[in-house]
Chain A
Amino acid sequence: MDRNSPLSIRDMRFRYSPLKPDWTIDISALDLKSGEQLLLTGTSGRGKSTLLYLIAGLLDPVEGRILVGGTDLHSMRGGVRDHYRGRNIGVIFQTFNLLQGFSAVENVLAALMFSALPGREHRQYAESLLAKLGIENPDADPDQMSVGQQQRVAVARAVACEPLLVLADEPTASLDPELADVAMNVIQETCRQRGAALLCTSHDPAMAKRFNRRISLEELSPETPKR
């Protein structure tokens, strides 16, 4: 595994149906270095989330290669791919997608089930991670928490396995501007501290100033001149 190359995409094309004439995703090249943070912009419905699912190995490209940590996730089968994803990729969703019926710490523990960390250390590690993110009551039901706290639990879960790459899918879309700012601080700072590369999608123009590197899906297609 190459920790210096969290993400490398080459000539990757994807469409949901072979009957569709146009590609949903068509990327000639995209690279992300270790610890790098990239904002992927684009209007809703253009395939930003689809790209994240392709990178996470939850969808398979029709053509081209996607390497995560130098490894082609799509050449792996079944459980091996799931195992690799669990250990190397963290995902933050727009709607947080916390596990219903699980407490805050249990949401993090659920992610740690698939990590290399010894089981006896899980609880202490999960609680300290939540504490660092300002969650003082790890046993609380996330449904009883504020939206901001829920977002922090989601971030803790995404980075729990010390991933190479964190994929954040419109992480602030359901937050008001003030809370969105706080949430992005948490996400970016946590990734920075843990050395994880961050690929964040958003259609919010206000997000642009937070990232040194920004790119739109349209710019990634072969016909568009690269920045």
Chain B
Amino acid sequence: MMTDFTIIIRSLRLRLFSTITTALTVAVAIALMLVLLSLRDASRKAFDRGSGNMQLLVSADSSPMGSVLNAIFYANPPARALKWAACQELLKTYPIEYQIPVQQGDTYRSFPIVATTPEFFTLFKPDPESGWELAQGTAFKSEFEIVAGAAAAQSLKLSLGDSFYITHGASDFSDRDPDDAQAESTQHQFPTLKMAMAQMHRYSKYKVAGILKRTGTSHDRALFTDLNSTWIVHAHQNRRMKDPSVTHTSAADLTDADKLITGVYVRFKTPPGMSESPVLSTVYDELKRGHPEITVAVPAVEIDRLFSIVSNIDEIFIALAAVIMVSSGIAIMLALYNSMEQRRRQIAILRVMGCSQARVFGLIVTEAALIGLLGAVAGVVLALIANQVSAKIIDSKLGLIIQPALAAEPTLWVVLAAVVLAGVAGIVPALMAYRTPVARSLRPMG
């Protein structure tokens, strides 16, 4: 049995090249729109995950947003340090659940070294939903041990027991073997400014004691060690500058001036069932007004601010994708409009056989909508592929682990919008078909 749908499919098949290219323009627009939407949501979730269950970040960075980006997302090593003892003094009067110091600035092959306390793995949760888990080994128990984030371990091909020197500053030239001639020579050649500013800490090798399971947060790219180790290597360097005969530095040699940190992760005692402590805003205001030498940041607020800035760019991109969608609608209209001249005879034959003008109009509008639907389905498939590719690129280039997924509702709306838009684009050619002069289109006449 022949149906209107069969006629439409035959028509699309007759102009296969035009059908495919037109559907592809729709597919690209849909894919772009869906990828932008899903990446926006996924990156938002990734940023939300990074701050975990921390409620306040104390640092000496120049701005709250900068401190969040540096201390949680490892954008740059924090520029200024704080005395840990002073910070403890500052926070002691508040109902604190945890205060975890972090010290950043060193790297190993460009991966950030985060010196902290064991509480980082027991009290701080990188993802509010779940805590840390070790894939191999143990958390650091003694000095100069490293616990590697999952992504860092994978990229650096680290195994338990591996040892290496770390670098003060950001550099690519840290090496596992301190006696390696190449490593020595690169250190002195300084091919880049970054290298020239970096300096290898040769006081002690660090040994990999544990490798963490993936958390899907920025912390997966970090290498963690205990605070004492970092303080010792820096103190040793300072002591050697004053007295080159110094050969050994231990925790006992450390002074308050050596015990520097770049940030403190803080969580206040929070009643069960509440995500935010009732004292948070009070503490935030008191610290901000009373201590201009420190920067206090509520990560959730800073991430909101960051996204409100980024969302303007997002909206521009989404508007661009919408413009491309409209363009693809115009492409459908042009493709069908141009085909009308060749189709006049076919439409006239259908009219002679009993097909009404309204039905001819419907056939063309449905054909346009079907091109839109084909394009939209192809666009969803493209978006699924593009999401995976972009997630990998963002992971490798930015170290931000995102899990973009197409949410059912917006996807359905976008697909529906494409179909409606395509149907609307079919109205002009459908009107042409509606007005096809049957007698003239069936010439030769007698």
Residues from chain A with a CB closer than 8 A to the CB of B345 are 97
A residues near B, CB below 8 A? 42, 44-50, 53, 56, 58-59, 78-79, 82-83, 85-87, 91, 93-95, 97, 99-102, 106, 109-114, 119-120, 122-123, 157, 161, 169-170, 201, 203
Question: Which residues of B have CB within 8 Å of A97?
Answer: 345, 348-349, 442
Q: Is residue B2 contacting chain A, with contact meaning CB distance below 8 A?
A: yes
Using A101-B11, A101-B13, A101-B14 as known contacts, say yes or no to A50 and B353 having CB atoms under 8 A apart: no
B2 to chain A, nearest CB (A): 4
Knowing A99-B349, A106-B2, the reply to whether A93 touches B442 (Cβ < 8 A) is yes
Can you report 16 A-B residue pairs in the complex whose CB atoms are below 8 A from each other? Answer: A45-B445, A46-B446, A49-B439, A50-B445, A53-B438, A79-B356, A82-B357, A82-B359, A83-B354, A87-B354, A99-B346, A100-B346, A101-B11, A101-B13, A109-B2, A157-B353
B2, B348, B349, B439, most chain A CB atoms within 10 A: B2
Q: Decide: B446 and A42 in contact? CB cutoff 8 A.
A: yes
Taking A110-B353, A113-B2 as known contacts, 11 extra A-B pairs with beta carbons closer than 8 A to each other, sorted by chain A number, are A49-B439, A49-B444, A56-B352, A82-B356, A86-B353, A86-B355, A99-B10, A99-B346, A101-B13, A119-B1, A157-B353
Contact check, B10 vs A101: say whether CB atoms are below 8 A apart: yes
B301: CB under 8 A from chain A?
A: no
Contact B352–A91 (Cβ < 8 Å):
yes
6 cross-chain pairs, A with B, having the tightest CB-CB distances, nearest first:
A86-B354, A114-B354, A79-B356, A48-B446, A109-B2, A49-B445
Chain B residues lying within 8 Å of A100, measured Cβ to Cβ, are 14, 346
Query: Which partner residue on chain A sits nearest B12 by CB separation?
Result: A101
Contacts of A49 in B (CB 8 A): 439, 443-446
In the complex, what residues of A have CB within 8 A of residue B353's CB?
Answer: 86, 110-111, 113-114, 157
Q: Select one of A94, A99, A122 contacting B444, CB under 8 A.
A: A94
The total number of A-B Cβ pairs within 8 Å is 99
- B359: min CB distance to chain A, Å: 7
Q: CB-CB < 8 A to A45: which residues of B?
A: 445-446
* In the assembled complex, B185 has its CB within 8 A of some CB on chain A: no
CA gap between A122 and B1 in the complex, in Å: 6
Given contacts A45-B446, A48-B446, A100-B346, contact A78 B356 (CB under 8 A): yes
Min distance, Cβ A24 to any Cβ of chain B, angstroms: 11
Rounded to whole angstroms, the CA-CA distance of A95 and B439 in the bound complex is: 14
In the complex, whether B350 has a CB less than 8 A from a CB of chain A is yes
Residues of A within 8 A of B352 (CB): 56, 58, 85, 91
- Are the C-beta atoms of A58 and B2 separated by less than 8 Å? no
CB neighbors of A among B329-357 (8 A): 345-346, 348-357
Chain A positions within 8 Å of B354 at CB level: 82-83, 85-87, 111, 113-114, 161
CB distance from A99 to the nearest CB of B (A): 6
Kindly provide the distance from the CB of B273 to the nearest chain A CB, expressed in whole angstroms.
63
Q: Is B3 an interface residue (CB 8 A)?
A: yes
Contacting residue for A102 out of B10, B356, B359, B444, CB 8 A: B10
